């Protein structure tokens, strides 16, 4: 009992203010006036030099958003957001029309990404993995700063560019796919995003192509009182494959910042998308002051037969997380996967999970969710598995494990299961456990410090999911698990 008591005491005195990505970049910015109205929507559209149809699409979304209500069913509490007290667009100031290559990017921005450990030089390799190459799109507040390896990807026929560029250069693809998985009026935040989205990444993999490298987007919110509304669209055409990773950080600020993204994935016949997220937005301080409000809609559509979408997420940041990466299993024999590690510490609140919608025949899905709560945080898994009456032979396996550290945090599991065909086979397993004093003592008696011991035990708990991350990021994610729980024990 004594160690548990001590853990609790330590958690009370927790110092979350150690968030190492919390620095601010001092760079001039150009912002749209505060608030949200049709003029702001027009301002953003004009900034991006968009065609008329795109502006109309945005204005339609804005009209729909006005009629919608903020959802309140999630197990999170936060003060009402004043949507007119936010900046909806901010870009780092530059003299030219925007950088054409890395050499033209503001050195202050490059230093920002260097500090964050993001490989932006094309020859750069990630720590510990020799020869690994990752193409990166960097999004700073509302604009994409630079995208690497574009020429090499183009050789393979892969399009990887900022969303704003895709709207101008590939209108046929955007008009066909944008909003086809997450409709404009899907939910309150998706409608808001559709009206004011600023940038994000666009990926198109042509038929039969295996993308020659990992693609990655790195999101950074710098400006105060600014929302980031990025939009990502990934299309894997017949028989293609791509692995994509997104990472996110933000400075430490006393006020809350809003992040409302929409991600749409589409796989055609025999195609596969592997989408990984390492989300490390600023979580707020130990008293719950500041931090990112993360309201994100992510959905994949397995449109073709035998296609596959796999979501892997490591969620360690944000004050509030509201996020349910989902799969619509439309094609016959299609497969959806969701692997999640969600760590909450301090006063963080997470309500996250997935939806697996089985529509096609013999579709299968797998959900492995690992929730770790420490401090005074609240961690909820919310998931839906449903089978349409025509989805004969649908199969799902769900495993939700929760680990508690200390006795002031909470873990909740809210599964919804709807099977409309008698041939569906759905399995659900859930466990809740605590790190025991025995385990801690065993590790420390072998020489590990208490924090090392907790990190080791938690990494063991999450191992199944960590193994799903691209190798280049697995090491980073493992150490992030340790860092996120710093201060959770003595």
Partner 1 sequence: MSSDFLNIENLVVEVAGKPIINGLNLTMAPGEVHAIMGPNGSGKSTLSYALAGRNGYEVTGGSVTFLGRDLTQMSPDERAAAGVFLAFQYPIEIPGVATMTFLKEAINAQRRARGLDDLPTPQFMRLVREKAKALKVSDDMLKRPLNVGFSGGEKKRNEILQMALLEPRLGVLDETDSGLDIDALKVVAEGVNSLRAADRSFLVITHYQRLLDHIVPDFVHVMAGGRIVRSGDKSLALELEREGYAEFETGMGQSAA
* Pairing relationship of beta strands 134-140 and 143-147 according to DSSP bridges: antiparallel
Beta carbon of residue 107, minimum distance to partner 1 (angstroms, whole number): 35
Phi, psi of 169 (to 5 degrees): -95, -25
How many whole angstroms separate alpha carbon 375 and alpha carbon 392?
44
How many whole angstroms separate alpha carbon 59 and alpha carbon 36?
12
Q: In the complex with partner 1, which residue's Cβ is closer, 7 or 267?
A: 7
Say how many residues make up the chain. 490
User: Which member of 180, 408, 421, 459 binds partner 1 (CB under 8 A)?
Assistant: 459
Q: In the complex with partner 1, which residue's Cβ is closer, 416 or 442?
A: 442
Q: What is the 3-state secondary structure (H, E, C) of 330-380?
A: CCCCCEEEEEEEEEECCCCEEEEEEEEEECCCCCEEEEEEEEEECCCCEEE
Beta carbon of residue 278, minimum distance to partner 1 (angstroms, whole number): 19
The 10 Å CB-count burial string (b at 16+, else e) for 128-163 is ebeebbbbbbbbbbbbbbbbbbbeebeeeebbbbbb
Q: In the complex with partner 1, which residue's Cβ is closer, 71 or 449?
A: 449
How many whole angstroms separate alpha carbon 381 and alpha carbon 149?
37
Quick one: which H or E segment has residue 426? strand 425-434
Number of residues that bind partner 1 (CB under 8 A): 27
Beta carbon of residue 480, minimum distance to partner 1 (angstroms, whole number): 17
Beta carbon of residue 24, minimum distance to partner 1 (angstroms, whole number): 34
Q: In the complex with partner 1, which residue's Cβ is closer, 59 or 448?
A: 448
Binding mask 292-311 for partner 1 (x = CB under 8 A): --------------------
Query: In 182-311, which ranges are continuous DSSP H helix?
Result: 188-196
Q: In the complex with partner 1, which residue's Cβ is closer, 158 or 457?
A: 457
Residue 23 has which token pair?
């620095």
Beta carbon of residue 449, minimum distance to partner 1 (angstroms, whole number): 5
User: Which member of 2, 93, 123, 151 binds partner 1 (CB under 8 A)?
Assistant: 2
Beta carbon of residue 3, minimum distance to partner 1 (angstroms, whole number): 4
Stretch touching partner 1 by CB under 8 A, among 168-176, 205-213, 270-278, 434-442: 434-442
Alpha carbon distances (Å) from 136 to 46, 102, 112, 213, 478: 26, 12, 15, 10, 21
Token pair 């080791």 is found at: 456
Q: In the complex with partner 1, which residue's Cβ is closer, 361 or 468?
A: 468
Q: In the complex with partner 1, which residue's Cβ is closer, 247 or 487?
A: 487
Q: In the complex with partner 1, which residue's Cβ is closer, 80 or 446?
A: 446
Beta carbon of residue 438, minimum distance to partner 1 (angstroms, whole number): 5
Q: In the complex with partner 1, which residue's Cβ is closer, 21 or 461?
A: 461
Beta carbon of residue 433, minimum distance to partner 1 (angstroms, whole number): 9
Going by the DSSP 8-state scheme, the letter that residue 323 receives in this structure is E
Beta carbon of residue 452, minimum distance to partner 1 (angstroms, whole number): 6
How many other CB atoms are there within 10 angstroms of residue 107's CB atom?
9
Per CB under 8 A, contacts with partner 1 among 351-390 are: none
Per CB under 8 A, contacts with partner 1 among 437-456 are: 437-439, 441-450, 452, 456
* Pairing relationship of beta strands 159-162 and 201-205 according to DSSP bridges: antiparallel
424 binds partner 1 (CB under 8 A): no
Beta carbon of residue 453, minimum distance to partner 1 (angstroms, whole number): 8
Stretch touching partner 1 by CB under 8 A, among 72-80, 187-195, 418-426, 461-469: 461-469
User: Which member of 18, 100, 115, 463 binds partner 1 (CB under 8 A)?
Assistant: 463
464 binds partner 1 (CB under 8 A): yes
Q: Secondary structure of the chain: what % helix, strand, coil (to 5)?
A: 25, 35, 40
Residues 6+ apart with CB under 8 A from 97: none
Q: 120 with 113: CB under 8 angstroms?
A: yes
Stretch touching partner 1 by CB under 8 A, among 63-71, 194-202, 222-230, 432-440: 432-440
1 binds partner 1 (CB under 8 A): yes
Burial class (CB in 10 A: 0-12, 13-18, 19+), 410: middle
Beta carbon of residue 15, minimum distance to partner 1 (angstroms, whole number): 20
Per CB under 8 A, contacts with partner 1 among 5-44 are: 6
130 binds partner 1 (CB under 8 A): no
Going by the DSSP 8-state scheme, the letter that residue 81 receives in this structure is P
457 binds partner 1 (CB under 8 A): yes
Quick one: which H or E segment has residue 245? strand 241-249
Beta carbon of residue 472, minimum distance to partner 1 (angstroms, whole number): 19
127 binds partner 1 (CB under 8 A): no
Secondary structure of residue 17 in the 3-state scheme: coil
3 binds partner 1 (CB under 8 A): yes
User: Which residues contact partner 1 (rule: CB under 8 A)?
Assistant: 1-3, 6, 436-439, 441-450, 452, 456-457, 459-464
């Amino acid at each position: 009992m004594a160690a548990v008591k001590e853990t609790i005491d330590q958690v009370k005195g927790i110092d979350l203010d150690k968030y190492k990505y919390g620095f601010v970049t001092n760079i001039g910015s150009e912002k749209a006036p505060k608030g949200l109205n049709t003029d702001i929507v027009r301002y953003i559209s004009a900034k991006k030099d968009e065609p008329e149809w795109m502006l109309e699409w945005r204005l339609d979304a804005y009209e729909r958003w006005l009629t919608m209500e903020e959802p309140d069913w999630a197990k999170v509490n936060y003060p009402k957001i004043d949507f007119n007290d936010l900046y909806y667009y901010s870009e780092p100031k530059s003299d030219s029309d925007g950088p054409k290559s890395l050499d033209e990017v503001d050195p202050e921005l490059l230093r920002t990404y260097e500090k964050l450990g993001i490989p932006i030089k094309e020859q750069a390799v990630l720590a510990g993995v020799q020869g690994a190459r990752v193409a990166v799109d960097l999004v700073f507040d509302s604009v994409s700063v630079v995208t690497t390896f574009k020429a090499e990807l183009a050789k393979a026929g892969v399009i990887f560019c900022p969303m704003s560029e895709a709207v101008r250069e590939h209108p046929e693809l955007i008009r066909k796919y944008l909003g086809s998985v997450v409709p404009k009026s899907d939910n309150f935040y998706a409608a808001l995003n559709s009206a004011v989205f600023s940038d994000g990444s666009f990926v198109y993999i042509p038929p039969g192509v295996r993308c020659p490298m990992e693609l990655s987007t790195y999101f950074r919110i710098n400006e105060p009182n600014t929302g980031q509304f990025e939009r990502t669209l990934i299309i894997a055409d017949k028989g293609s494959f791509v692995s994509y990773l997104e990472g996110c950080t933000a400075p430490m600020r006393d006020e809350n910042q809003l992040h409302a993204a929409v991600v749409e994935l589409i796989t055609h016949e025999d195609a596969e998308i592997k989408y990984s997220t390492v989300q490390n937005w600023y979580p707020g301080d130990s008293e719950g002051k500041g931090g990112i409000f993360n309201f994100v809609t992510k959905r994949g559509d397995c449109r073709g037969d035998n296609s596959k979408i796999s979501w892997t997420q490591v969620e360690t940041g944000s004050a509030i997380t509201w996020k349910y990466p989902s799969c619509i299993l439309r094609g016959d024999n299609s497969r959806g996967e969701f692997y999640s590690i969600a760590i909450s510490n301090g006063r963080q609140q997470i309500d996250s999970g997935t939806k697996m919608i089985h529509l096609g025949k013999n579709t299968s899905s797998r959900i492995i969710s690992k929730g770790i709560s420490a401090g005074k945080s609240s961690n909820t898994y919310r998931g839906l598995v449903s089978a349409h009456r025509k989805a004969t032979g649908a199969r799902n396996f769900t495993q939700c494990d929760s680990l508690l550290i200390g006795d002031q945090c909470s873990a909740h599991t809210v599964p919804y299961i709807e099977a409309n065909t008698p041939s569906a086979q759905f399995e659900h397993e859930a466990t809740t456990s605590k790190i025991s004093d025995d385990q801690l003592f065993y590790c420390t008696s072998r020489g590990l410090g208490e924090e090392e011991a907790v990190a080791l035990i938690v990494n063991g708990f999450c191992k199944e999911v960590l193994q799903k991350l691209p190798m280049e990021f697995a090491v980073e994610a493992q150490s992030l698990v340790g860092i996120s729980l710093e201060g959770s024990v003595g």
